[in-house]
């Protein structure tokens, strides 16, 4: 199957300091892909760069193809058609993504006008249907509400309705539940799963929470210091992780069941992007690193079919 | 004797003034009784607005209770701002979520850690210097960091500096309000391990307030689950989180995203956490409760002890008592 979106050798640097150091990633129609990693690993920057949402001082290189269309360097009008149209994005903080002085219904109607040419009564009726679909109680009444009159969970539902307004082929959700309470997080994850299946839409879920990604995604990419260090099916990543960093992340999570054990913390901290280690960026924190790890950046190698990791310790 | 005892403590705030209506007051904490034993950890969990942070402030005497009583070490908590309260502050310390906000940006790490010693008049200059060096080692910060300012530290290092300062006066009680929530997973594990080690080595009692059930389970001996200002379930951490009895605790535990667990088992509650200013009648949880029965809307279930030693505030957990009533 042809990938929906295909990222090759994507690099981003801010003022000469690299933030993303060569990312390859395909997302196929209808699949749910999770991207995990800690602050600064580049998981959000990847998609901001792909959609041309980074400030002008960012130097972006590589290629991002959506079907036949190259997105990097594409003129603004064609990017405007893609963003909110074929590719929609929702963020961690819905309250700041919504306009505080415009009724939420009007904001959804604006997306409908821009991407589907709906106006007037047709747009209002469709906005109302979208509100119903994302489970907003009293949809007709809530169309007239302002963002500050709604809870964080309801605002995130509005954002999802607005994302669905353009009938996207791909929804990118960047930490969509991080600011929400546990019970509301469960509601939003359920909603995302439902809309993804109902619309046959592809989903990219960016999260620092491995549990959230495990919940929704069939394929997972683990990022560290601007690179993809492991990629595979969700069960491969969570049950038999191959990269020492992925193993470390999973061992650092406390369990909910079984006897309590001391957490296995990863020693040290993420390297400073301005002074990267010579070879593998994880080597200074890695228990199985040796002199060979400093010789060069390891490429992704196949662990088993569909599962790849960038570590020299993996038997080729 | 317990180090800290709360007896039917409530904290009420005046509500928003409406133009033609009387201001309704908000009961942020409502009738909470609990004890914290020396050297043990009590975890407090619940969602935004459930009153867990207010409860932490009441425990430290930072706010006086509107009703009920707080006792520290067998004596009533003095009113905030009094001399007696200031003296007690050396024995109780607070750690917040945001270490950058808790540190003074103009002071070096060493000066910040020494500050409580200066305020409480502990030791002379040389003794304080030695104490600061020891504290830095205890929290795993190198001596080269002593002369740095907070902005030159990473998030994990800042939280270690805050902890070193909190430990400077050798407190008997440490209240931690979401201490690791802002940290990345790998750093979070480092700080959690360090907290557990320091607490065990020094015999400090700890109150650990967090929305993260996994971290709470990792550090706590006992757990109190709060909903809208009240404790709905309380008991040994292993019991409450492994086999929750209250429907709210069950939903919270099932909502913890865990790699490798099947999401279909999750209980998804409908509705939003309620507004503390418009508390539902009867059991405050009943509008969202998947198993509520008519009595739940009428009577507030009291927190009652179960055979296994925990307490639960749910009509259905005590069927014989309530069905008869």
- Please determine, for residue A262, whether its predicted confidence score (pLDDT) is greater than 50: yes
For residue B193, which residues of chain A lie inside 8 Å, CB to CB? 262-263, 265
> Does the residue B107 lie in any domain?
no
Tell me which residue range forms the domain holding B33: 4-91+171-324
CATH of the domain at B306: 3.40.50.300
Per the CB < 8 A criterion, the answer to whether B110 and B147 are in contact is yes
- Please determine, for residue A136, whether its predicted confidence score (pLDDT) is greater than 70: yes
> What gap in Å lies between CA B147 and CA B182, rounded to an integer?
24
User: Which residues are CB-contacts of A315 (< 8 A; sequence separation ≥ 6)?
Assistant: none
CB contact under 8 A, B256 and A182: yes
What's the confidence (pLDDT) of residue B323? 45
Mutate to test the interface with A, among B16, B257, B263, B277 (most CBs of A within 10 A): B257
pLDDT of A49-63, one tens digit each? Answer: 999 999 999 999 999
- Please determine, for residue B325, whether its predicted confidence score (pLDDT) is greater than 50: no
> What gap in Å lies between CA B275 and CA B192, rounded to an integer?
32
Burial class (CB in 10 A: 0-12, 13-18, 19+), B127: exposed
CB contact under 8 A, A210 and B189: no
Q: List B residues 101-160 in contact with A (Cβ-Cβ < 8 A).
A: 154, 156
**How large is the average pLDDT for residues A129-149?**
93
pLDDT of A286-300, one tens digit each? Answer: 999 999 999 999 999
- Please determine, for residue B262, whether its predicted confidence score (pLDDT) is greater than 70: no
Q: Which residues of A163-181 are buried (b: 16+ CB within 10 A; e: fewer)?
A: bbbbebbbbbbbbbbebbb
> What gap in Å lies between CA A66 and CA A4, rounded to an integer?
6
> Does the residue B124 lie in any domain?
no
For residue A250, which residues of chain B lie inside 8 Å, CB to CB? 259
Average pLDDT, chain B: 90
For residue B48, which residues of chain A lie inside 8 Å, CB to CB? 181
**How large is the average pLDDT for residues A18-23?**
94
Mutate to test the interface with B, among A154, A156, A183 (most CBs of B within 10 A): A183
> What gap in Å lies between CA A255 and CA A258, rounded to an integer?
7
pLDDT band of residue A215 (cuts 50, 70, 90) is confident
Structure letter (DSSP) for residue A260: -
User: Which residue from B47, B184, B217 is facing A254, i.e. has the nearest CB?
Assistant: B217
* Tokens of residue A1, six digits: 């199957």
Among A245, A249, A207, residue whose Cα is nearest residue A225: A245
Cβ-based neighbour number of residue A14 at 10 Å: 15
What's the confidence (pLDDT) of residue B22? 65
The interface pTM score, or ipTM, of the predicted complex is: 0.85
> What gap in Å lies between CA A7 and CA A30, rounded to an integer?
17
* Tokens of residue A172, six digits: 């990118």
Burial class (CB in 10 A: 0-12, 13-18, 19+), A95: middle
For residue B256, which residues of chain A lie inside 8 Å, CB to CB? 182, 211, 256
> Does the residue B29 lie in any domain?
yes
CB contact under 8 A, A265 and B154: no
Chain pair A-B, CB pairs under 8 angstroms: 119
**Total count of domains within chain B:** 1
> What gap in Å lies between CA A12 and CA A9, rounded to an integer?
10
- Please determine, for residue A278, whether its predicted confidence score (pLDDT) is greater than 80: yes
Cβ-based neighbour number of residue B186 at 10 Å: 24
CB contact under 8 A, B184 and A187: no
Per the CB < 8 A criterion, the answer to whether A69 and A78 are in contact is yes
User: Which residue from B184, B266, B272 is facing A184, i.e. has the nearest CB?
Assistant: B272
> Does the residue B163 lie in any domain?
no
User: Which residue from B252, B257, B272 is facing A211, i.e. has the nearest CB?
Assistant: B257
What's the confidence (pLDDT) of residue A316? 56
For residue A175, which residues of chain B lie inside 8 Å, CB to CB? none
> Does the residue B207 lie in any domain?
yes
What's the confidence (pLDDT) of residue A277? 92
Q: List B residues 46-65 in contact with A (Cβ-Cβ < 8 A).
A: 47-48
What's the confidence (pLDDT) of residue B324? 40
> What gap in Å lies between CA B47 and CA B210, rounded to an integer?
9
Among A281, A149, A157, residue whose Cα is nearest residue A227: A281
> Does the residue B44 lie in any domain?
yes
> Does the residue B227 lie in any domain?
yes
Tokens 């058609």 correspond to A81
Residue A229 sits at φ, ψ, to 5 deg, of -105, -20
User: Any chain A CB within 8 A of the CB of B185?
Assistant: yes
User: Any chain A CB within 8 A of the CB of B304?
Assistant: no
A188: nearest CA partner in chain B: B268
pLDDT of B179-215, one tens digit each? Answer: 988 888 888 999 999 999 999 999 999 999 998 999 9
Burial class (CB in 10 A: 0-12, 13-18, 19+), A56: exposed
Q: What kind and span of H or E run contains B319? A: helix B319-324
A236: nearest CA partner in chain B: B260
Measured in angstroms, the CA of A264 and the nearest CA of chain B are apart by 7
* Tokens of residue B67, six digits: 């009703």
Output B323 or B262, whichever has higher pLDDT: B262
- Please determine, for residue B20, whether its predicted confidence score (pLDDT) is greater than 80: no
Structure letter (DSSP) for residue A98: S
pLDDT band of residue B170 (cuts 50, 70, 90) is very high
User: What's the sign of the alpha-carbon dihedral A53, A180, B185, B257?
Assistant: negative
> Does the residue B105 lie in any domain?
no
- Please determine, for residue B132, whether its predicted confidence score (pLDDT) is greater than 90: yes
User: Which residue from B47, B156, B258 is facing A211, i.e. has the nearest CB?
Assistant: B258
> What gap in Å lies between CA A32 and CA A24, rounded to an integer?
17
């Amino acid at each position: 199957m042809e990938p929906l979106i295909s990222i090759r050798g994507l690099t981003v640097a801010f003022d000469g300091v690299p933030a993303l150091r060569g990312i390859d990633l395909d997302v196929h129609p209808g699949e749910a892909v999770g991207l995990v990693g800690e602050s600064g690993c580049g998981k959000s920057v990847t998609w901001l760069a792909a959609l041309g949402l980074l400030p002008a001082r960012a130097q972006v290189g590589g290629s991002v193809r959506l079907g036949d269309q190259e997105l990097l360097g594409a003129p603004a009008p064609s990017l405007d058609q893609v963003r909110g149209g074929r590719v929609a994005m929702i963020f961690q903080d819905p309250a700041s993504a919504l306009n505080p002085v415009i009724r939420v219904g009007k904001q959804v109607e604006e997306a409908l006008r821009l991407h589907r040419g709906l106006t007037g009564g047709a747009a209002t009726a469709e906005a109302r249907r979208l509100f119903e679909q994302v489970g907003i109680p009293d949809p007709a009444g809530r169309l007239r509400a302002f963002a500050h009159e709604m809870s964080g969970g309801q605002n995130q539902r509005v954002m999802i309705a607005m994302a669905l307004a353009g009938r996207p082929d791909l929804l990118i959700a960047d930490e969509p539940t991080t600011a929400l309470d546990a019970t509301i997080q469960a509601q939003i994850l359920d909603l995302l799963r439902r809309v993804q299946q109902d619309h046959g839409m592809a989903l990219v879920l960016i999260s620092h929470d491995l549990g959230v990604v495990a919940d929704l995604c069939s394929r997972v990419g683990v990022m560290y210091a601007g690179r993809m260090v492991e990629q595979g099916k969700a069960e491969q990543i969570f049950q038999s992780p191959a990269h020492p960093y992925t193993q470390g992340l999973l061992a650092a999570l406390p369990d909910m069941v079984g006897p309590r054990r001391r957490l296995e913390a990863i020693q040290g901290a993420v390297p400073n992007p301005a002074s990267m280690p010579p070879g593998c960026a994880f080597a200074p924190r890695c228990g199985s690193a040796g002199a060979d790890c400093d010789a060069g950046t390891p490429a992704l190698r196949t662990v088993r079919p569909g599962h790849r990791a960038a570590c020299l310790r993996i038997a080729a | 004797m317990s180090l800290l005892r709360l007896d039917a403590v409530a904290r009420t705030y005046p509500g928003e003034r409406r133009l033609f209506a009387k201001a309704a007051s908000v009961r942020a904490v409502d009738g909470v009784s609990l004890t914290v034993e020396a050297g043990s950890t009590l975890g407090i969990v619940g969602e935004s607005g459930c009153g867990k942070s207010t409860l932490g402030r009441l425990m430290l005497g930072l706010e006086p209770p509107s009703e009920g009583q707080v006792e520290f070490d067998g004596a009533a908590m003095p009113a905030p701002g009094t001399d007696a309260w200031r003296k007690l502050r050396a024995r109780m310390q607070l750690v917040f979520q945001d270490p950058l906000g808790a540190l003074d940006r103009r002071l070096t790490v060493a000066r910040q850690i020494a500050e409580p010693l200066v305020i409480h008049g502990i030791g002379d200059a040389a003794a304080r210097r030695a104490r600061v060096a020891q504290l830095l080692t205890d929290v795993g910060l190198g001596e080269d960091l002593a002369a740095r300012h907070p902005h030159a530290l990473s998030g994990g290092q800042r939280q270690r500096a805050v902890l070193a300062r909190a430990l400077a006066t050798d407190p008997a009680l440490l209240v931690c309000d979401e201490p690791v929530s802002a940290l990345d997973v790998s750093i979070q594990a480092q700080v959690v391990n360090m907290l557990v080690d320091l607490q065990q080595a020094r015999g400090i009692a700890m109150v650990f307030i967090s929305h993260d059930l996994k971290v709470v389970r990792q550090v706590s001996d006992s757990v109190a689950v709060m909903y809208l200002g009240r404790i709905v379930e309380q008991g040994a951490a292993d019991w409450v989180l492994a086999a929750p009895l209250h429907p709210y605790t069950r939903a919270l535990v099932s909502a913890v995203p865990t790699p490798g667990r099947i999401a279909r088992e999750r209980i998804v509650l409908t509705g939003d956490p309620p507004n503390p200013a418009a508390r539902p009648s009867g059991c405050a949880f009943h509008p969202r409760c998947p198993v509520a029965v008519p009595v739940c809307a009428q009577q507030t279930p009291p927190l009652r002890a179960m055979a296994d030693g925990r307490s639960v505030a749910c009509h259905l957990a005590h069927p014989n008592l309530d069905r008869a009533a």
